[in-house]
């Protein structure tokens, strides 16, 4: 290897000078050049932006991918500049298991599993699309700031701090040189006493004064150079720090896109679940059959006691509202009646509801004016 000894020695000397200046500042033995208040505010704002952006980025990663092993795998693929393999979502995997199980069962439970499995797979596909959109529109800009812009700012700030140490070291050197020059000048102004003082001491004093004058001129030149480099670097760093405002604007736009992606995802999930509830409402209700068998068993144990609901078919026209126990309910979603025993609903309307002895707990009797019929409890918000 070809070592540049001069450059190595110069670098070591510069490092030592900065270390001495930094130590003396910490001990209160040297003066420190303070930056203006506006510059300090810019640096504080930049640090705050970096810290919170890093926290938001990490937590968003956890939100989008809770599995730490999967996050590590994606990180390694990214560092190796390779495309990560497509990963099936938990919803899609659950839907696949449900549909596979339905093939084995072949019962009302199996047919319900098919419907729910299809819905879970659609939810999983919507989740995968949401994850991809969020990663591109929100995570990537935050990562680009942390790995790009912030690294540049940090580099320039470190360089500014080094130049600030060099500047203060030059100020200290100039101060010491002027003190030495003044001392030498005082000694040189004294007239020599040839009886008590050797002429040689007078000559040496005059020579030292000239040397210190040269040292002062050299220190002043080094101070001017150091001040120029510091001012230039301070301006560069200031411009980068002021660019944090543009970063905020960019991140604000990305945040809006992230919220829109979330809203679209949850809306899509809500629509899928509404369709699933409608599909399940049209399937044979196993819970209603179970309640009928329970009622039959109760009827055999208690002879002479009849129930308003004794068959699977509810005769709505014969149902009468009880004297007590009716409540108001707000409809959460639209609902289309599957048959004449049910009541169609419109979102946000208010209806009167009540239950009957032996009735399936998933259903209530709803009344709206002269209309009445069974309504699913999951579509209602019961009011006090």
Q: State residue 351's pLDDT score.
A: 92
Alpha-carbon torsion angle 72, 76, 82, 88, nearest 10 = -10
Helical H segments across the chain, by residue range: 5-26, 37-64, 68-79, 90-105, 108-134, 140-144, 150-189, 199-242, 244-282, 286-301
Task: Give residue-wise pLDDT tens across range 344-371.
Answer: 999 899 999 988 887 888 889 999 988 8
Q: State residue 76's pLDDT score.
A: 74
Q: State residue 303's pLDDT score.
A: 44
- What's the pLDDT band for 65 if we cut at 50, 70, 90? confident
Task: Give residue-wise pLDDT tens across range 299-323.
Answer: 444 444 444 443 345 566 667 777 6
What is the layout of strands, in order, in the sheet containing 380-382?
371-376, 363-368, 350-354, 327-331, 380-382
Q: Which two tokens stand for residue 175?
A: 């101060």
Task: Give residue-wise pLDDT tens across range 20-64.
Answer: 777 777 777 677 778 889 999 999 999 999 999 999 999 999 988
Task: Give residue-wise pLDDT tens across range 177-201.
Answer: 888 777 777 765 554 554 544 554 5
Q: Residue 177's CB: how many other CB atoms inside 10 A?
A: 19
Q: Does position 298 have pLDDT exceeding 50, yes or no?
A: no
Q: State residue 11's pLDDT score.
A: 63
Q: State residue 289's pLDDT score.
A: 41
Q: State residue 287's pLDDT score.
A: 47
Query: Which neighbouring-strand residues pair with 373?
Result: 366
Q: Does position 250 have pLDDT exceeding 70, yes or no?
A: yes
- What's the pLDDT band for 228 if we cut at 50, 70, 90? very high
Task: Kindly report the pTM of this predicted structure.
Answer: 0.60
Q: State residue 300's pLDDT score.
A: 46
- What's the pLDDT band for 292 if we cut at 50, 70, 90? very low
Q: Does position 288 have pLDDT exceeding 50, yes or no?
A: no
Residue ranges of the chain that CATH labels 2.30.30.40: 327-383
Q: DSSP secondary-structure letter at 311? A: S
Q: Indicate the CATH number of 327-383 among 2.30.30.40, 3.40.630.40, 3.40.720.10, 3.30.450.20.
A: 2.30.30.40
Q: State residue 194's pLDDT score.
A: 47
**Mean of pLDDT over the chain:** 80
Neighbouring residues of 311: CB distance < 8 A, sequence distance ≥ 6? 292
Task: Give residue-wise pLDDT tens across range 198-218.
Answer: 554 544 455 666 676 788 888
Q: State residue 55's pLDDT score.
A: 96
Q: Indicate the CATH number of 12-189+216-282 among 1.20.1270.60, 3.30.360.10, 3.40.50.2000, 3.90.930.60.
A: 1.20.1270.60
Task: Give residue-wise pLDDT tens across range 89-126.
Answer: 888 999 999 989 988 887 788 888 989 999 999 999 99
63 by Cβ neighbours in 10 Å (0-12 / 13-18 / 19+) ranks as exposed
Q: State residue 311's pLDDT score.
A: 38
Residue ranges of the chain that CATH labels 1.20.1270.60: 12-189+216-282
């Amino acid at each position: 290897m070809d070592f540049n000894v001069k450059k190595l020695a110069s670098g070591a000397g510069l490092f030592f000078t900065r270390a001495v200046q930094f130590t003396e500042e910490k001990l209160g033995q040297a003066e420190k050049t303070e930056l203006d208040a506006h510059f300090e505010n810019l640096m504080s704002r930049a640090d705050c932006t970096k810290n919170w952006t890093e926290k938001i980025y990490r937590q968003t990663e956890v939100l989008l991918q809770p599995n730490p092993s999967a996050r590590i795998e994606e990180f390694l693929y990214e560092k190796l500049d390779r495309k990560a393999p497509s990963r099936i979502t938990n919803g899609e995997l659950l839907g696949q298991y449900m549909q596979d199980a339905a093939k084995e069962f072949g019962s009302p439970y199996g047919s319900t599993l098919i419907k729910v499995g299809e819905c879970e797979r659609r939810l999983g596909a919507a989740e995968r699309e949401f994850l991809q959109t969020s990663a591109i529109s929100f995570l990537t800009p935050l990562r680009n700031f942390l790995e790009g812009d912030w690294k540049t700012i940090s580099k320039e700030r470190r360089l500014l701090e080094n130049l600030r140490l060099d500047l203060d070291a030059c100020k200290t050197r100039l101060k010491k040189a002027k003190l030495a020059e003044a001392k030498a000048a005082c000694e040189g102004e004294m007239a020599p006493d040839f009886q008590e003082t050797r002429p040689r001491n007078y000559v040496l004093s005059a020579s030292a004064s000239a040397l210190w004058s040269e040292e002062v001129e050299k220190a002043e030149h080094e101070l001017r150079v150091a001040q120029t480099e510091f001012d230039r670097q301070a301006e560069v760093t200031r411009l980068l720090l002021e660019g944090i405002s543009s970063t905020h604007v960019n991140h604000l736009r990305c945040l809006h896109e992230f919220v829109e992606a979330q809203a679209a995802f949850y809306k899509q999930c809500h629509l899928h679940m509404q369709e699933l509830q409608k599909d399940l409402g049209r399937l044979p209700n196993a819970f209603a059959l179970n309640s009928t068998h329970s009622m039959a068993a109760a009827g055999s144990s208690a002879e002479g006691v009849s129930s308003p609901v004794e068959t699977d078919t509810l005769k709505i026209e014969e149902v009468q509202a009880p004297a007590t126990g009716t409540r108001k309910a707000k409809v959460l979603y639209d609902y289309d009646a599957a048959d004449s025993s049910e009541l169609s609903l419109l979102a946000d309307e208010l209806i009167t509801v009540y239950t009957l002895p032996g009735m399936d707990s998933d259903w209530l009797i709803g009344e709206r004016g002269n209309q009445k019929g069974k309504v699913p409890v999951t579509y209602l918000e019961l009011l006090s």
